[in-house]
């Protein structure tokens, strides 16, 4: 160990640290350190003959002198003469760490690991973006950009609102416990990697806004819906920070935010927290609406295993509390799944008056409004039988008789994997770095300035 301290002292003595500092890239700095040590005969043999801990200690000492060697600034390594061992500590909590100074292991240090790598223009509807996370290849994180927020026709308010679908993780955290929704391409085909940070969620928002030349030229306002890959209810602090930061940046850009949509399959803690935060004014003047993807009354666990952990009744109770706090109606998504074959070999059907009725019996038309959603079948997940008018009419009659506000939602991107349940993380690099660089740098700078 004395050897490392000696090498370091010699490096300082001969004045090489200033030379290393001037080098622009990390790779060059590392090469230079090795070269100096070899040339000056500070070490008998190659630097690679040092143990990993010895190399880390040397890096640590050099970095302390202001030469960035990409170690986490909170990482501390020292040698104890008491037990003749190296010890690795984190300054943030004073505890031992196994991170070995790597910034990518400790999620609190990860700011932005997302890089846009592909964009697919999808007919008249918009575009799908793919993002590499931490430099990894397929499957990718995805976001969707839509020219209009719904398929309502010309002359409606929606024509002037562009909408973006944003991911909150790579894959879905529910899949870690095999609790992903049966019908979801993301949950069933993208391996969960990690939750995204607030900065990464906001980066999707801002980059998509800057890259949306048409919406910018038409001065459209924007809606951000957290309903891409992942369950926002299990990444609430990051989503909250991203929303607040996004709004600050949108103000600075002079572009109007129409609203944010917090879409969850039903995580009660997050629903309570969101309601409290809106009431407390944490979101300022921004509108943050709650969407609940419930899809069933009874038998919900067979398509959404999360229901075993957070039963429907608890989710609905949380939604009443949200309403008490915010006075905002909650959208209840009810996806029409007709005789869908499930993994366990059974069939699921909610296209019936009794299935919808069992859900409505828990709801209140003052508090909840219903969205009958078309299911966009992905190739890798369960398939629904075709839904006819005759199937939907009795459901509409029921909703009318119970005085619920409702609408029918037609899925986007049926053939082109734009979104609406089709986010399977597949893409090939097709973005020319030069064309996106300006928007990417601008988005990253704005985020660094506004989201700490
Ligand atoms: S629908 Fe949402 S919550 Fe369900 S598996 Fe897919 S990403 Fe996860």
- Pocket lining: 244 vs ligand 1, CB cutoff 6 Å: no
What values do phi and psi take at 324, rounded to 5?
A: -60, -40
pLDDT in tens, 400-436: 999 999 998 766 555 555 555 556 778 888 887 667 8
What is the residue-averaged pLDDT of the chain?
86
Q: pTM for the whole thing?
A: 0.75
Evaluated on CA atoms 393, 398, 401, 403, the torsion sign reads negative
Predicted confidence band at 374 (pLDDT cuts at 50, 70, 90)? Answer: confident
Which of ligand 1's atoms lies nearest the C-alpha of 179? 5
Pairing assessment for the beta strands 340-341 and 347-348 based on DSSP bridges: antiparallel
- Residue minimizing CA distance to atom 7 of ligand 1: 230
Between these two residues, 43 and 121, which has the higher pLDDT value? Answer: 121
Pocket flag, ligand 1, residue 230 (CB < 6 Å): yes
Residue 265 Cα to ligand 1 midpoint, Å, equals: 7
The best mutation among 174, 263, 271 to test binding of ligand 1, ranked by most ligand atoms within 8 Å of the C-beta, falls on 174
Please work out whether the CB of residue 184 comes within 6 Å of at least one atom of ligand 1.
yes
Mean pLDDT of the region 181-204: 92
Question: Three-state SS across the chain?
Answer: CHHHHHHHHHHHHCCHHHHHHHCCCHHHHHHHHHHHHHHCCCCCCCHHHCCHHHHHHHHHHHHHCCCCCCCCCCEEEEEECCCCEEEEEECCCCCECCCCCCCCCCHHHCCCCEEEEEEEEECCCEEEEEEEECCCCCCCEEEEEECCCCCCCCCCHHHHEEEEECCCECCCHHHHHCCCCCCCHHHHHCCCCCECCHHHHHHHHHHHHHHCHHHHHCCCEEEEEECCCCCHHHCHHHHHHHHHHHHHHHHHHCCCEEEEEEEECCCHHHHHHHHHHHHCCCCCCCCEEEEEECCCCCCHHHHCCHHHHCCHHHHHHHHHHHHHHHCCCEEEEEECCCCEECCCCCEECCCCHHHHHHHHCCCCCCCEEEEEECCCCCCCCCCCCCCCHHHHHHHHHHHHHCCCCEEEECCCCCCCCCCCCCCCCCCCCCCCHHHHHHHHHHHHHHHHHHCC
326 ligand 1 Cβ < 6 A: no
Counted residue by residue, the chain has a size of 452
Tens-place pLDDT, residues 13-28: 777 777 788 887 887 8
The residue that leads in pLDDT, 188 or 356, is 356
pLDDT at 426: 80
At the fourth CATH level, the homologous superfamily of domain 110-438 is Aldolase class I (3.20.20.70)
Read off the pLDDT of residues 279-304 as tens digits, 9 standing for 90 and up: 999 999 899 999 999 999 989 999 99
At a CB cut-off of 8 Å and minimum separation 6, what does 281 contact? none
The residues spanned by each domain of the chain are 2-108, 110-438
pLDDT for the residue numbered 179: 92
pLDDT at 336 over 60: yes
């Amino acid at each position: 160990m004395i050897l490392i301290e000696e090498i370091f002292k010699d490096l300082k003595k001969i004045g090489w640290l200033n030379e290393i500092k001037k080098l622009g890239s990390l790779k060059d700095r590392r090469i230079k350190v090795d070269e100096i040590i070899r040339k000056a005969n500070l070490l008998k043999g190659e630097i690679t003959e040092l143990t990993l801990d010895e190399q880390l200690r040397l890096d640590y000492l050099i970095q302390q002198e202001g030469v960035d060697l990409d170690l986490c600034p909170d990482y501390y390594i020292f040698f104890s003469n008491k037990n003749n061992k190296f010890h690795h500590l984190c300054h943030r909590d004073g505890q031992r760490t196994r991170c070995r100074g790597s910034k990518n292991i400790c999620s609190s240090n990860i700011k932005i690991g997302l890089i846009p790598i592909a964009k697919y223009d999808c007919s008249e509807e918009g575009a799908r973006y793919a993002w590499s996370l931490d430099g990894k290849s397929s499957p990718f994180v995805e976001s969707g950009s839509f020219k209009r927020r719904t398929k309502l026709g010309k002359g409606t308010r929606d024509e002037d609102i562009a909408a973006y679908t944003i991911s909150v993780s790579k894959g879905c955290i529910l899949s870690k416990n095999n609790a992903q929704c049966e019908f979801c391409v993301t949950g069933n085909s993208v391996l969960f990697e990690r939750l995204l940070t607030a900065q990464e969620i906001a980066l999707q928002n801002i980059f998509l806004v800057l890259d949306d030349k048409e919406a910018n030229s038409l001065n459209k306002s924007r809606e951000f819906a957290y309903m891409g890959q992942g369950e926002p209810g299990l990444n609430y602090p990051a989503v909250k920070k991203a929303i607040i930061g996004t709004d600050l940046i949108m103000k600075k850009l002079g572009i109007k935010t129409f609203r944010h949509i917090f879409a969850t399959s039903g995580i009660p803690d997050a629903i309570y927290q969101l309601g409290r935060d809106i009431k407390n004014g944490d979101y300022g003047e921004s509108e943050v609406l709650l969407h609940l993807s419930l899809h069933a009354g009874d038998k919900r666990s067979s398509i959404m295993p999360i229901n075993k952990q957070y039963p429907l009744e608890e989710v609905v109770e949380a939604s009443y509390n949200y309403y008490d706090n915010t006075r905002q109606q909650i959208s209840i998504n009810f996806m029409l799944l007709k005789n869908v074959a499930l993994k366990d070999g059974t069939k699921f059907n909610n296209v019936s008056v009794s299935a919808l009725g069992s859900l409505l019996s828990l709801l209140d038309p003052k508090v909840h409004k219903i969205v009958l959603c078309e299911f966009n079948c992905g190739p890798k997940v369960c398939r629904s039988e075709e839904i006819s008018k005759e199937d939907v009419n009795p459901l509409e009659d029921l909703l009318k008789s119970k005085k619920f506000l409702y609408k029918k939602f037609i899925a986007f991107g049926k053939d082109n994997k734009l979104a609406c349940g089709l986010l399977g993380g597949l893409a090939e690099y097709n973005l020319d770095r030069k064309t996106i660089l300006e928007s990417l740098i601008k988005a990253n700078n704005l985020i660094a300035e506004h989201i700490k």
